[in-house]
Amino acid sequence: MTILVYGIFQRLGAQPVGIVRSLSRGLWTVFPALGIFGILAISWLFVTVLIGAVIRGIGNLGPEHVSIISSAVSIVIIAFLARFFWVILPVAVLERRFLSSFSRSAYLTKGNRWRILVIAILVIAISRLTYWGLGLLAVPLASLVESYSAIFLLAWATNAFVTVFSIVVVTVCYYHLQLVKDGVKERDTKTELD
């Protein structure tokens, strides 16, 4: 993922995209990116557990109702927070930041958060439709080739498509947000120094 972010950003800025440079820069930033994803995953888990506990304490709801309600509420909260941290991965990769990438992402998204929410909803919808299409194709494909390995291959290809699509959208958003907030001159200078 980090290699893709670097390569996409370089291409958007009309900079040459070299394989060796993209690999070295992308591999160098894998651990900060994993750390950020770890923090976000723990936050997601904490929010979901907290919401589930609050909802269980409210009334006499069955476990299935608690699960549905807590999932819906946590998705709304995470979608709200995603508006602030939408470009956190490109910030970590391209600006070589770790914990400060949270505040930098919030700075870059300020003034554009409702647009980002719409983009995030569209990306999620396209991802869900892609997975839904995979679900429709999975059983007929398995019957046709008489093997479940085709389903695994199709699932892998679908995950790859959704991941690359999401990374492209987020990196393009970062590129434009940085142009708006920092201006062209600073971006070009930063890229040349790297």
Could you tell me the mean pLDDT of each successive run of 10 residues in the chain, 194 residues long? 67 70 69 80 80 71 70 75 82 80 87 87 84 78 72 82 87 88 57 42
* pLDDT of amino acid 1: 63
Note down the domain range covering 47.
2-193
79, HSE (Cβ side, Cα atoms, 13 Å): 17
Contact assessment for residue 9 and residue 90, using Cβ atoms and an 8 Å cutoff: yes
* pLDDT of amino acid 149: 73
> How many angstroms separate the CA atoms of 47 and 180, rounded?
32
Domain count, the chain: 1
In sequence order, what are the residues at sequence separation of 6 or more whose Cβ sits closer than 8 angstroms to the Cβ of residue 33? 1, 2, 89, 92, 93
DSSP-derived letter for residue 13 is: T
In the block, tokens 């946590």 appear at 74
Measured in residues, the chain has a length of 194
Using CB atoms within 10 A of its CB, is residue 174 exposed (0-12), middle (13-18) or buried (19+)? buried
DSSP-derived letter for residue 110 is: T
* pLDDT of amino acid 188: 44
* pLDDT of amino acid 192: 39
* pLDDT of amino acid 16: 67
Closest CA to 106 of 179, 177, 158: 177
* pLDDT of amino acid 187: 44
**Helix (H) or strand (E) segment spanning residue 135:** helix 113-145
Closest CA to 96 of 166, 41, 164, 26: 26
